[in-house]
Amino acid sequence: MADLNIQLNLRLAPEVLRGGLLIVSLLAFTTELGSENVTLTTYYPAPSGVYTQMITTGNTWLARENGNVVIGTNNLAARLDVTGTVSATRTILVGNLASDPLPADSSDGMLYYNTTSNKFRGRQAGAWTDWPTIGCPAGTVDAGSYCIEADERPPATWWNATSIWLSAGMTLCSMIQWYPACAAALPGLNNMLGNWEWMGDMAYWGQFQQPIAGNTTCGPGGTVWPPTSLTNFRCCRGK
């Protein structure tokens, strides 16, 4: 059989020819491209831009390198500056420091936990103090680690006095509370002397007896049993 020769002449426009060569080139390098990682860097709209709403579903880093985060304000006064109410459904952990911050780093309203004294410390009126500083309710005097009522209560039996301080959420002052407050003549304390007052302690001298104090001196004035006589008293409470 004789050979059959067929000649086919194609005429392609230049733009069609260029497109075909591009497709052939992409197909030729498909394997190589599939094995590479491509990193794209974009600058708009992320990370710069103004957003009306942003939702993240994982870890979120804000101002990671530098700068401040502000909420509800344009004020850049602190690393985190919030104008408005901050709500937490569990606990809030404040900073732990061994000593008060330097004056240059301090401002009124600051709060931290002092790991040396194991107490909260707050900054108010230009000074650091143990916090809270207003641990005594109205009608009582701050005696350091406890509060003592400024005025003695009307006479009552020891049993009735017990029910009164229980209902007040306090305790009958013990001798170890009553005596230092009396001896120090704390400002605001009234009528510490002049009347006997029940003490919250109980003594045992052959039988249980109830101490009293405060008639003429700040020292103990003896004991009474049974504690049915009408005697003044005052209540104390710890901070």
Tell me the domain boundaries of the chain: 69-130, 140-238
The partner residues of 128 in beta bridges, in order of sequence, read: 123
Tell me the pLDDT tens digit for each residue of 145-188: 899 999 999 999 998 998 888 888 889 999 999 999 999 999 99
Give every residue of the chain whose pLDDT is below 50, as ranges.
Answer: 4-10, 12, 17, 29-35, 40, 44-45
- pTM score, whole prediction: 0.47
* Beta pairing, strands 80-82 & 69-71: parallel
Tell me the pLDDT tens digit for each residue of 45-60: 455 667 777 788 888 8
pLDDT score for 177: 94
For residue 189, which of 204, 200, 173 has the smallest C-alpha distance? 173
pLDDT score for 6: 46
Using H for helix, E for strand and C for coil, what is the string for the chain?
A: CCCCCCCCCCCCCHHHHHHHHHHHHHHHCHHHHHCCCCCCCCCCCCCCCCCCCCCCCCCCCCCCCCCCEEECCCCCCCCEEECCCCCCCCCCCCCEECCCCCHHHCCCCCEEEECCCCEEEEEECCEEEECCCCCCCCCEEECCCEEEECCCEEEECHHHHHHHHHHCCCEECCHHHHHHHHHCCCCCCCCCCCCCEECCCCEECCCEEEEEECCCCCCEEEEECCCCCCEEECEEEEC
* Beta pairing, strands 235-238 & 203-204: unpaired
Amino acid at 239: K
CA 145-174-157 angle, 5° bins: 140
- What CATH architecture is 140-238? Roll (3.10)
* Beta pairing, strands 220-224 & 208-213: antiparallel
Amino acid at 92: I
pLDDT score for 48: 62
Tokens 């602190």, located at residue = 78
- Structure tokens that stand for 172 in this block: 């009958």
